[in-house]
Structures are given as structure tokens and as C-alpha cells.
Amino acid sequence: MIRPRIVIWAITVMLFFLLLGLLNLEVIHGKRYQELGDKNCIRLVSQNGSRGRILDREGRVIADSQLSYDLMILPQDPGQQEKIILSAAQILKVSVRELQKALKKEYISSSVPVTIARNISVKEAIALTELKVDLPAIIVQPDPLRHYPGGRLAAHVLGYVSEIDRWRLTRLEDYGYKTKDIVGFGGVEERYDYYLRQEEGGVSFEVDHRGKIIRTLGFKPPVNGKDIQLTLSIKIQKIAEDYLAGRKGSVVIMDPYTGEILAMASSAAFDPAAFAEKNSDALVKLFNDPNSLLINRAISSAYPAGSIFKVIVAAAALDNKKINPNTTFLCQGSTFVGRGEFKCWSTHGLQNLQAALTHSCNVFFYKTGLLAGAQSLHDYALKFGLSKTTSFELPYENPGFIPSPLWRKINKFKNWFDGDTANLSIGQGEVLVTPLQITRMIAVIANGGYLVTPYIVKAIDGRDISVYQQRSEKLNFKQGTLDYIREGLRGVVNDPTGTGNVLSGLTVIIAGKTGTAQAPPGQPHAWFCGFLPYKNPKFAICVFLEHGGPGYVACVTAKQIIQEMINQGLI
């Protein structure tokens, strides 16, 4: 009699716990499980809006988006999956293995659509859509693809777009960025990504337990990114790039009064479309190219200044009354500083400041630099905006470097000698500058003593922001300092013996300075910086050719660019 009672009690206890479990499922957690069940029946297919356009100062399109199509699969049904891959391989004329490899690589979970082919043609998209009747797991998704109508034109200014990397994701996750987002890298695409990026939309579907679509539940339209208008003139940009092509270097053209960048060319260049289209062969070639195609040489690379630094030496010596316009030094082809002989590139005879600038006489500037003193040269270089970034809005700007006796003592535990001052006086030694810094420096002479802040974005989403971009600092030079330098720079181009005389044949009067910066073991770097017209300047220009030879070569390139601007009525 005892055993049946034990069995009955055991069964009763088990039924009690079973009822408790049912109560927990149906009453206590029933709502939660109902929600999970509903969610499991819903599939979301995202749709991307178009990234904002990038326009030039006249509203011409430099970067926009073109509609492309991606092939996606809902991977819940293996049988459908195989049929879709076989049919798609025939339509797309690719191997089954290639599509299977893409499916394996992009797979996240059975409920998330997988992209197995990108950027397919309209005809292919239509043919694949027709398979949807028998194969509902197939999705042909429209996707706006970044498009650059000018190809490589202004590539370094624009930057490129690609899938977000881990470093950016860690920094931007709190701002709504997520894995596999397309973001900007370099240039305007990176700096203004927040404005340019689109908001994702999509369609939600109800599906059965096999993943077959039963009905559409809702649609959220994607939101396009905001347009960015630049100060850049595509016409001037193209001229600069055309005459720079085939050589490493940079051309910067700027409004000397406002700081608006009208052209910023860097060579060698890259094709940003290779990133948007994920062309793996082109990307491998790009990254392996020894010419460092992704570097914007106008702002990210720093070089010895050479003789263009003499403008700063002249300003420091005149302003501190170490010399005056009538001061002369005799150039016999070289001079001794201590026990070292420092050479000039020619024998110029007796030189005053204007003649020394015109002929780029090293001997005059060795002696002038020694009179001014190394610390004064350093301080005036900083006054002209060197050895620090220009606050230009594009990323990865190089600050350059100007040495000083104090820096040498603290960082190298070495003394500064007169020979170091002589080297600094002609822009050699440890001096490093960027083409944008030199454009800004020469603009100070052109505009009467204002250090402007260069900028390249004129408007965002149709709203003009240039009033907030234009910033300048009045540099308090003594009366006459800049006027004397201007006259010397005019002689560089317009005097028959000037180092930039090749530019004198144009219909506009130009003032400027040439530079030949020693950069062993290769050829020297060629520099020309100047402004035009001489009265009421509209343009400050810097032409830099990496290992291009003497400054004369940069003058020839500058002449070609300016002549073409005249031909097209841009001056």
C-alpha cells in the first residue's frame, strides 16, 4: 500500500511543477515570448540614401552618387540558396564558386540578408528580379554608389569612401556609426562625413517559418546626405592638374585676401572610384605604388624651403632695422662664415635688398641672416605662419618645422653656430614647409600684411558658411617693410636678369620668388611662389615640383598654368 502512495505523490508533484512552468510561460513571461515570436517573423531589408554631393564654387558636380544594384540572398532555405547561386552565376557570367565564396564571407546569420554580388547592371538586375516568383529568397537591392565625374580630378581634396575600419568605429560608434557603414577617408569626404553621410531606411516584411515573404509591414524612406559646396574652381583645378601631370609635386592657388582655395592639385594622384567600386586589383596596385599616391603633397608633406625663405629673412632684417633698402653686400660667388665657405649659385657683385631678391643672391642673405640673428629668423617664420598648421579644415596637415638655437639645445644637446644661421637664411638645414604654408606666406606680401586662414568649404546644404571661414590676423610690420619686399619680388619676374624672368612675357604683371632647395641624393626641389596681378592681386600661387630641378622649372609650369587661365578668361 505504501508504494502506490509514493508513486501518486510523485506524479502529483511533477504535475504541480509542470503547471508552474506553464503558468510561467503563459502568464508571467508570455508577453516577452510573444514579442520574440513576432520579431522572428519579421525581416528587415535596409535601403541606403544617396551620399551628399560635392560641388565646386559655381555649382558644378565634383562627386555625386549613381544608382547601382546589389544581389542579396535570405539564407534560411539551403535549397533556394543553391538554386539562386546557380541561376545568378549564369546571368552575371561569373563562377558559382565566386558567389559561394562571397556568401560565406558576408554571412552573419540565417535571418540577415547576405550580399553576394555588388554593382550589377540594370539588365542583370531586371533578369534576377524575374526569378523572385519561384525563388522568393532572392533580393535585388538598389544601392547609390559614389561617383566621381572627373575621375582623378581633385582626388586629394575630395578623399574617398570605403567601409568603416575598426579604429573609426571605436571613435564614432556613439554617433550612430556601425559595422560595414560606408564612410569618408581623407579630404572633404572624411572631414565632412557627418554632413555627407545618408540616413538608412528600409522595408520590413512578415515571413513564414521558411522565410517566405507573406506581406510588407512598413517602409521608412532613406534620407540623402547634405551637399557640400567648395571654394574650388574646377576649371582652375583642371588647368593646374593638366600642367602638373606626370610629375610629383603640388600647385596651390588661393585668394590672398580671403584665404579661399581656388585650386589644390597634388601629383601623383589616385582614382577614388577604385574604393567606391571595391576594385581589388586597382587597390592593390594603388597601395603598392612607390609614388605614395594617397598623400596630398600640398598639405601633408613638408620639404626644404630653399630660397623662397629669403622673403622672411628680408622681413626680419628690415623690420628690426638690421639692414635698410640701401644696405649693400659684395657677392664674389662665396663668403666665409667662420672657417666654412658658403657658396652662391653665381657671382652677382654689389647687391642691395631689391637686387638680392631679384637675383636670389645667397651671399647677401647669408650676411643679412647673420645680422638679423637665428632667433629673429625663427620668430618671423612663425609670424608668417610656418612651423604650425594653417588651421586648414582638411585632415592630416603637416605643421612643418623651423629650427632655433633653443630647440637645438633642448632636443639635441648641441650648440647653434653661425653656419646654422647661414643655412637657415637660405631655407636649408632643418627647415621644412608645405606648399600651402608658402602660399599663405606669399599672400601676406600680396595683401599688405594679413595672415589669412586658408579654407575650402563655401556652403553646407545650401547655407553659405564662408563668413565664418574667413579669418585673418594683422601682422604689425614697420612702415615700408612689405613695400620694399614687393618691389624686389616684382624684379624677380620683370627684371631681365631676374630668376623668374621666364614669367615676364604674360599679359599680366606677376611678382614672386623662385627657390631651388637642395634635397640629396636626388635632384633639388623646384619652387615658385607669387601673386598676380601685381596691383590689386587676385591670386596667390605656389608651384612645387618634388626633385624637379632648379626653380626655373617651377616658373615654366607656373607660366603655363597662368597663360591657360588667361586664355580661358579666368584672370
**Residue 143 pLDDT > 80, yes or no?**
no
Grouping H, G, I as helix, E, B as strand and the rest as coil, residue 115 is strand
Taking the C-alpha atoms of residue 257 and residue 446, their distance in angstroms, rounded to an integer, is 8
- Look at residue 39 in the predicted model and tell me its pLDDT: 47
Highest mean pLDDT among 26-30, 161-165, 402-406: 402-406
- Write down the pTM of the prediction: 0.83
Mean pLDDT of 520-547: 95
- Look at residue 511 in the predicted model and tell me its pLDDT: 96
Q: Is 159 exposed, middle or buried (0-12, 13-18, 19+ CB in 10 A)?
A: buried
- pLDDT band at residue 111 under the 50/70/90 scheme: low
Can you say whether residue 427 is alpha, beta or left, with left for phi > 0 and alpha for psi between -120 and 50 degrees? left
- Look at residue 212 in the predicted model and tell me its pLDDT: 57
Over residues 226-235, the pLDDT tens digits come to 999 999 999 9
**Residue 463 pLDDT > 90, yes or no?**
yes
> What percent of the chain has pLDDT above 90?
60
- pLDDT band at residue 36 under the 50/70/90 scheme: very low
- Look at residue 104 in the predicted model and tell me its pLDDT: 75
Q: Are 317 and 372 in contact (CB under 8 A)?
A: yes
Mean pLDDT of 103-127: 75
**Residue 110 pLDDT > 80, yes or no?**
no
Neighbours of 450 (CB within 10 A): 15
**Residue 204 pLDDT > 70, yes or no?**
no
Highest mean pLDDT among 33-37, 69-73, 123-127, 384-388: 384-388
> What percent of the chain has pLDDT above 70?
89
Taking the C-alpha atoms of residue 58 and residue 41, their distance in angstroms, rounded to an integer, is 51
Mean pLDDT of 330-335: 94
Q: Which of 41-45, 335-339, 479-483 has the lowest mean pLDDT?
A: 41-45
Q: Which of 174-188, 359-373, 495-509 has the lowest mean pLDDT?
A: 174-188
- Look at residue 34 in the predicted model and tell me its pLDDT: 54
- Look at residue 79 in the predicted model and tell me its pLDDT: 67
Mean pLDDT of 405-426: 94
- Look at residue 211 in the predicted model and tell me its pLDDT: 53
Mean pLDDT of 181-190: 91
Nearest to 128 by CA among 193, 185, 66, 83: 83
- pLDDT band at residue 486 under the 50/70/90 scheme: very high
Taking the C-alpha atoms of residue 149 and residue 145, their distance in angstroms, rounded to an integer, is 12
The rounded mean pLDDT for the chain is: 87
**Residue 287 pLDDT > 90, yes or no?**
no
Nearest to 530 by CA among 507, 508, 550, 497: 508
Q: Which of 117-131, 185-199, 332-346 has the lowest mean pLDDT?
A: 117-131
Q: What domains, with CATH codes, occur in the chain?
A: 43-230 (3.90.1310.10), 234-268+295-567 (3.40.710.10)
- Look at residue 33 in the predicted model and tell me its pLDDT: 52
More confident residue, 560 or 199: 560
Over residues 394-415, the pLDDT tens digits come to 999 999 999 999 999 999 899 9
Q: Rounded to whole angstroms, what are the CA distances from 46 to 73, 76, 105, 181?
A: 13, 18, 19, 12
- Look at residue 42 in the predicted model and tell me its pLDDT: 63
Longest dimension (CA), the chain: 134
- Look at residue 312 in the predicted model and tell me its pLDDT: 97
More confident residue, 533 or 120: 533
**Residue 38 pLDDT > 50, yes or no?**
no
Over residues 39-51, the pLDDT tens digits come to 456 666 666 778 9
Give the containing element (helix H, strand E) for 91: helix 78-92
First to last CA, the chain: 116
- Look at residue 130 in the predicted model and tell me its pLDDT: 79
- Evaluated on CA atoms 195, 150, 276, 288, the torsion sign reads negative
- Look at residue 524 in the predicted model and tell me its pLDDT: 96
- Evaluated on CA atoms 239, 244, 246, 249, the torsion sign reads negative
- Look at residue 1 in the predicted model and tell me its pLDDT: 47
Mean pLDDT of 408-434: 94
Q: Are 307 and 515 in contact (CB under 8 A)?
A: yes
Taking the C-alpha atoms of residue 175 and residue 500, their distance in angstroms, rounded to an integer, is 52
More confident residue, 383 or 180: 383
- pLDDT band at residue 436 under the 50/70/90 scheme: very high
DSSP class of residue 199 equals B
